[in-house]
Amino acid sequence: MGQFLNVALLVLRKDVAIEVKSREILYTTLFFAVSCVLVFAFALVKEGRVVEDASAGILWIAVAFAGTLALGRTFERERYGETLRALLLAPAPRAAIYVGKLLGIVLLLAVAEVALVPLVALLFGAAFFARPLLLAGLLASGTIGFAAVGTLFAAMLVRSRSRDVMLPILLYPITVPVIIAGVRGTVAIAQAAPDEAVAAMWIGLLAAFDVVFVTLALWTFEPLMTE
Amino acid sequence: MTKRYFVPLLVVTAAMFAYAPILIANAPYESTMGLVQKIFYFHVPSWFAMFTAVFICGIQSAIYLFRGRAASDRVAAAAGELAVVFGLLGLVTGPLWGRKSWGVWWQWDARLTIALLLELTFIAYLLVRKYGGPGSEKLAAAVGIFGMANVPFLYMSVNIWRTIHPPTSVVPTLPAGMPGPFWFSVAAFMLLLTILMTLRVRLEQQRAALDELYLALEE
Amino acid sequence: MLRRACLVVFSVVGSIAALAAQQPPGGFVPIEQLPPSEQLPSAPLLVAAYVFVWLALMVYVWSVWRRLGRVEAELRALEQKTRK
């Protein structure tokens, strides 16, 4: 268990170190998310007000799109440097590598969300911060769920053809429950009379999703990455 | 799946499908929806067949990924394709029924939405198999497993999502005279699934035999 | 044999699960209460659904048959070549 955690944290530190130095993926992901939000703004704002509840949807779509991009870029970097094969050859439990990459992606998305949530709340006048703790719980569990499935698929697609378009095709249908839960939970928080019970219920669903899919990913990572 | 059973099963399936319209025509009319409700006799069994195919694909994918049994991969491939086929049947007959009973083609009805999402997942499964390049069987297996594992979450989230919108109109508990033709249709579709699986698995087996022959020739 | 047993078991389980998921409706507007202008003829829809199901299944069976034929022809050709 100790070694597992050590390897995972080592992979995380490596990714963070690379990212802190170049900040390439962070900046591009963040800017892409902001552009997404603007595109949706122009599509959905009517007479200066956004269509009801759309602000929650815009937030989560931006996170999902930006997350897909970040996943693709992260593993493209691994593929380019051929570091993935090196990682897999290392005498380390494979699943720990998965956890390390997962933590890296979640961290990246968390930083992006810290910028994105206030921005969306501001642009669309949405009361996201009415229940900040619930919002944080929703975002955390949703991001982990999305990243859990995404990291596995992105890793397994690294050696496949047409990997760029395959990732969204595989990822989006499977993460629909995350989107539904995230959006409806955020709407429940942001509405005139915040419905805490509903938000808590959606967080519960997301937590269950996280547990099931992280477990599945840990289980299948090894056989998938072995030739 | 031996050849011995194939022809008798085929005959029985064909006979059941031939007899089904008679049963369906003689079934009582549903009081509020009239004639169009009869689509239900092959819409719901299509959904049953798709559901079954999804689970077969998921389980066989897991066996293939963890045990490496090539036969399981072949069955998973067949089941994945059939899930898409039966899903398509359900997704076309559903709106045709809905056009009359709801007045619109699509209304984000919970069940049809779940069917659509599963359909997309398994179309992705087929795309990975076809365009994934070498080693795509394993990638597809992961999609199959995750797709199957997602079913309860899809059910929960989409159903709760849909209760916010106006309720949908669907046949409630079956009135007298309907269970007979309904279960007959279900049995017919299940037999059809079995037959088509047999045929499709045979295709995979022959492909595998061909690959082996090519490999043997290279040596 | 085992595979067929599995198929049967899964189909039964799948049916039960799917049936259990059928929920009672929340209430709907009976067709008779709609004004006649909004009522659609049912028969074309029913016929269309039936025809589609048949056509789709026929096309699929034909597709599998054709693919099977091609693979088996290739197999036979290869076997003939190796025998020479």
Confidence band of C8 (pLDDT split at 50, 70, 90): low
Which of A170, A176, A184 is the closest to B128 by Cβ?
A170
Is C59 exposed, middle or buried, given 0-12, 13-18 or 19+ CB atoms closer than 10 A? exposed
Rounded to whole angstroms, the Cα distance separating C42 from C31 reads 11
Residue B2 lies in a domain: no
Q: Which of residues 91-130 of A touch B (CB under 8 A)?
A: none
* Residue A189: C-alpha distances to residues A113, A183, A197, A200, B54 (Å): 17, 10, 10, 10, 36
CA A145 to chain B, closest CA, distance in angstroms equals 12
Instruction: Report pLDDT digits (tens) over A126-151.
Output: 889 989 999 999 999 999 999 999 99
Q: Do C71 and B203 touch (CB under 8 A)?
A: yes
- What would the pLDDT profile of B190-200 be if each residue is shown by its tens digit? 989 998 999 99
Q: Which residue has the higher pLDDT, B182 or B24?
A: B182
B100-131, pLDDT tens digit by residue? 878 888 888 888 899 999 999 999 999 999 98
Residue-level pLDDT at B23: 72
pLDDT of residue A110: 95
CA distance linking residue B59 with residue B76, whole number of Å: 8
pTM: 0.85
pLDDT value of position A49: 77
Q: Chain A residue closest to B120 (CA)?
A: A173
Q: H or E element: which one contains B163?
A: none
Cβ-Cβ contacts under 8 Å, C61 against chain B: 196, 199
User: In this complex, does chain C touch chain B, defined as having at least 3 beta-carbon pairs under 8 Å apart?
Assistant: yes
Please report which helix (H) or strand (E) contains residue A45, including its range: strand A45-46
Interface touch B124/A169, C-beta < 8 Å: yes
Chain B residues near residue A220 by CB distance under 8 angstroms? 65, 142, 145
- Pair A124, A186: CB distance under 8 Å: no
Query: In this structure, what are the phi and psi dihedrals at residue A112, rounded to the nearest 5 degrees?
Result: -60, -40
Displacement of CA A89 from its chain's centroid (Å): 27
Task: List chain C residues with CB under 8 Å of B193.
Answer: 7, 11
Q: How many domains does chain B have?
A: 1
User: Is there a contact between A152 and A218 (Cβ–Cβ < 8 Å)?
Assistant: no
* pLDDT > 70 fraction of chain A, expressed in percent and rounded: 100
Distance CA A102, CA C26 (A): 42
Summarised one tens digit per residue, pLDDT across range A177-216 is 999 999 999 999 998 888 899 999 999 999 999 999 999 9
Q: Hey, is the C-beta of A86 within 8 angstroms of any chain B C-beta? A: no
Q: How far apart are CA B165 and CA A159, in angstroms?
A: 43
Beta-carbon contacts of residue A34 (< 8 Å; ≥ 6 apart): A62, A116, A119
Question: pLDDT exceeding 70 applies to what percent of chain B?
Answer: 89
B 149-168 near A (Cβ less than 8 A): 149-150, 153-154, 156-158, 160-161, 164
| Whole-number Å distance between alpha carbons of B187 and B17 | 10
Instruction: Write the pLDDT tens digit of every residue in A76-131.
Output: 888 887 887 788 888 888 889 999 999 999 999 999 999 999 999 988 888 899 89
Q: Which chains touch C (3 or more CB pairs under 8 A)?
A: B
Q: What percent of chain C has pLDDT over 70?
A: 52
Mean per-residue pLDDT for B84-93? 95
The residue among B88 and A52 whose pLDDT is bigger is B88
> Contact B149/A223, CB-based, under 8 Å?
no
A162 in B contact zone (CB under 8 Å): yes
Inter-chain residue contact B135 with A149, CB threshold 8 Å: no
- pLDDT tens readout for residues C12-31: 544 554 443 343 344 455 55
Q: Does B117 contact A176 at a Cβ distance shorter than 8 Å?
A: yes
Q: How far apart are CA B118 and CA A165, in angstroms?
A: 19
At residue B42 the predicted structure's pLDDT band, cuts being 50, 70 and 90, is confident
Q: Is A130 exposed, middle or buried, given 0-12, 13-18 or 19+ CB atoms closer than 10 A?
A: middle
Residue C14: which of B51, B171, B210 has the nearest Cβ? B51
**Cβ pair B206:C52 closer than 8 A:** no
Q: Nearest chain A Cα to B117, which residue?
A: A173
Sorted by where each begins, the domain ranges of chain A are: 2-225
Which tokens go with C43? Answer: 């028969």
Give the chain B residue whose CA is nearest to the CA of A212. Answer: B149
How high is the pLDDT of residue B47?
A: 92
Name which residue leads in pLDDT, B173 or A54. Answer: A54
In whole angstroms, give the CA distance from residue B214 to residue B27.
55
At how many degrees (to 10) do helices B70-101 and C42-83 cross?
160
What's the complex ipTM? 0.89
For residue B25, being part of any structural domain is answered with no
d(CA B43, CA B48): 9
Please, are residues A213 and B146 in contact by the beta-carbon 8 Å criterion? yes
Domain that holds residue B158: 38-165+179-218
